[in-house]
Amino acid sequence: MKKYQLDVPTPHSYTYVTKNIPNVTVEQRERALKATHYNEFAFPAGMLTIDMLSDSGTTAMTDVQWSAMFLGDESYGRNKGYYVLLDAFRDVFERGDDQKRIIDLVRTDCEDVEKMMDEVYLCEYEGGLFNGGSAQMERPNTFIIQQGRAAESVLFELVKKILNAREPGKIYTIPSNGHFDTTEGNIKQMGSIPRNLYNKKLLWEVPENGHYEKNPFKGNMDTEKLEELITKLGPENVPLIYTTITNNTVCGQPVSMANLRECSRIAHKYDIPYMFDAARWAENAYFIKVNEEGYADKSIPEIAKEMFSYCDGFTASLKKDGHANMGGVLAFRDKGLFWKKFSDFNEDGTVKTDVGILLKVKQISSYGNDSYGGMSGRDIMALAAGLYEAAKFDYLDARVKQCEYLAQGFYKAGVKGVVLPAGGHGVYINMDEFFDNKRGPETFAGQGFSVELIRRYGIRTAELGNYSMEYDLKTPEQQAEVANVVRFAINRSQLSKEHMDYVIAAVKALYEDRATIPNIRIVKGKNLPMRHFHAFLETYEPSEDEK
């Protein structure tokens, strides 16, 4: 059979719908940039050639997901999708290859009421991350919310309230391998200190010829730094430990199973709940399968099952990883360490105040009944179907290889600072190296790069470095943990090789003319929480030394 194998990848999908790209001049984009105060989030998407700001909620859905939307049940209480979604969570995060897939009963319009009662409506589950039936009412531990940052807000607002009631005014530290912008913003708003513990030296390493034989898992938590920090501060001052999978802040790099296991061990050694930011869990599972010893023959769901066995709870934006265009979740282990730490108990050990009940009150008061959490029934069904779609190896393989194609294109074009290997959802460029280390951290030259890429070529990216991560507002310790990068997010199943080649050519041209890229200063909103979403900026010419 070998003689029939080709040295090109086998196609795995078709495109049925196209979207035309408008013809926009440089002058028109420049006018729009000035009108929107050079804030890339405020630039009109309809004036872009390629939008790589984020893959959040912008990826293409499959025909299976679109068809599932027609099955959406918009009932206010306990719509069908509620049961389907919670069980899809159990399937992909806890059951591995032994999945129930009750979504198929809804897809086939099962009219056997007894069967639906026994297999969907009245099933009882407890002891895991997703209680069901009366257990989810008595001890709620799974909360459907419309996106990840809202799930984070619900979590951290309540954690703050509980901690302040116990010790008013006390300041806590929450370490991670890399808190993303909204996570960091929510932690700051609860009055706590976010810390990012990773190996920056390894992150910037470029292998010979631009290729690693195996992915080195640059997104790993630096476990020595983690244990040192806990010892220095005292475990009582570290209420949670977070791992982001994949590590979006650290250039979309994956985290190894060994590192997840070790972080869990350290957290539990000090009796600290271990949490995931699991927005890109499927991509991370893919990297483990392809690169980590002992996982090559395991399926993505089987790998996910082990990954989630190490955490006490997680938040996730489910707008990533190809899940759907809307969705999020907060969950914690039934009667697990998070529950024990943040619930209050009577002297006899009975529960006085269940943290799950408090979270449910916040969910209902802010986002809607627990059956939908701010999501439509259509979106719930698309998300449930998307969880299974995102776990398909062929899809993940094509997605990761498309990212690597773009990263290698930059590298071969001579662009300095490309982070290799590529992450699972995007490509990152180190702006310090891109500018030959001539631009200081408060010139925000990475934002200047992003603005100029929009102006000249209609390509929008996300600056995730000194400007967005608020380098100028951090302590020296925190400043050392900032990766000064710009991200090119790649939307699932949406961009072609033609798009990638256009981006490569544009970045190559901009790199060769980098001396003319403006610096940026903040003219309004410097101290606003998550300022990059709403600050006003202006450009200014770099000095001769900076050129």
pLDDT digits (tens, 9 = 90+) for 441-462: 999 999 999 999 999 999 999 9
Report the pLDDT value the prediction gives residue 191, as an integer from 0 to 100: 87
Average pLDDT of the chain, as a whole number: 93
CB atoms within 10 A of CB 256: 21
Answer whether residue 304 is part of any domain.
Answer: no
Answer whether residue 50 is part of any domain.
Answer: yes
For the chain, what is the domain count? 2
Report the pLDDT value the prediction gives residue 483, as an integer from 0 to 100: 92
Report the pLDDT value the prediction gives residue 37, as an integer from 0 to 100: 96
Answer whether residue 125 is part of any domain.
Answer: yes
Residue 42: pLDDT above 90?
yes
Same domain, 412 and 524: yes
Same domain, 405 and 341: no
DSSP E strands: which ranges in 131-248?
A: 142-145, 173-176, 193-196, 241-244
Same domain, 385 and 411: no
d(CA 319, CA 492): 11
- The residue-averaged pLDDT of 18-22 equals 88
pLDDT bracket for residue 8 (50, 70, 90): confident
Of the residues 339, 367, 391, the one at which a domain ends: 391
Of the residues 335, 362, 391, the one at which a domain ends: 391
What is the 8-class DSSP label of residue 19?
A: -
Report the pLDDT value the prediction gives residue 420, as an integer from 0 to 100: 96
Selected residue with higher pLDDT from 38 and 186: 38
* Chain centre distance of CA 326: 13
Report the pLDDT value the prediction gives residue 172, as an integer from 0 to 100: 94
CB atoms within 10 A of CB 6: 6
| pLDDT (tens digit per residue) in 78-96 | 999 999 999 999 999 999 9
Same domain, 421 and 535: yes
pLDDT bracket for residue 113 (50, 70, 90): very high
Report the pLDDT value the prediction gives residue 1, as an integer from 0 to 100: 54
Report the pLDDT value the prediction gives residue 390, as an integer from 0 to 100: 92
Report the pLDDT value the prediction gives residue 436, as an integer from 0 to 100: 96
CB atoms within 10 A of CB 409: 20
pLDDT bracket for residue 19 (50, 70, 90): confident
Same domain, 450 and 532: yes
User: Residue 359 carries which side chain, given as an amino acid letter?
Assistant: L
Listed residue (14, 12, 127, 61) closest to 388, CA to CA:
61
Contact 154, 362 (CB under 8 A): yes
Listed residue (492, 302, 258) closest to 394, CA to CA:
492
Same domain, 531 and 398: yes
Is residue 90 classed as helix, strand or coil in its secondary structure? helix
Residue 253 tokens, joined: 């790099």
Same domain, 412 and 469: yes
Answer whether residue 496 is part of any domain.
Answer: yes
Residue 313: pLDDT above 80?
yes
Residue 58: pLDDT above 90?
no
Same domain, 398 and 377: no
Answer whether residue 230 is part of any domain.
Answer: no
Same domain, 470 and 341: no
Report the pLDDT value the prediction gives residue 180, as an integer from 0 to 100: 84
| pLDDT (tens digit per residue) in 169-213 | 999 999 999 998 888 888 888 889 999 999 999 999 998 888 998
Answer whether residue 519 is part of any domain.
Answer: yes
- The residue-averaged pLDDT of 352-362 equals 94
Give the rounded percent of residues in the chain with a pLDDT score beyond 90: 80
Same domain, 414 and 535: yes
Report the pLDDT value the prediction gives residue 286, as an integer from 0 to 100: 97
The CATH number of the domain holding residue 462 is: 3.90.1150.10
Give the rounded percent of residues in the chain with a pLDDT score beyond 70: 99
Same domain, 449 and 362: no
Strands 241-244 and 274-277: parallel
Answer whether residue 461 is part of any domain.
Answer: yes
Listed residue (416, 439, 482) closest to 251, CA to CA:
482
Answer whether residue 302 is part of any domain.
Answer: no
Report the pLDDT value the prediction gives residue 322, as an integer from 0 to 100: 64
| pLDDT (tens digit per residue) in 130-163 | 999 999 999 999 999 988 888 888 999 999 999 9
Selected residue with higher pLDDT from 140 and 318: 140
Report the pLDDT value the prediction gives residue 320, as an integer from 0 to 100: 81
Report the pLDDT value the prediction gives residue 2, as an integer from 0 to 100: 64
Of the residues 329, 362, 391, the one at which a domain ends: 391
Residue 43: pLDDT above 80?
yes
Same domain, 535 and 405: yes
Contact 326, 383 (CB under 8 A): yes
Q: Tell me the residue range of the domain where 475 lies.
A: 26-55+394-540
Selected residue with higher pLDDT from 245 and 185: 245
Contact 417, 433 (CB under 8 A): yes
d(CA 88, CA 90): 5
Strands 193-196 and 173-176: parallel
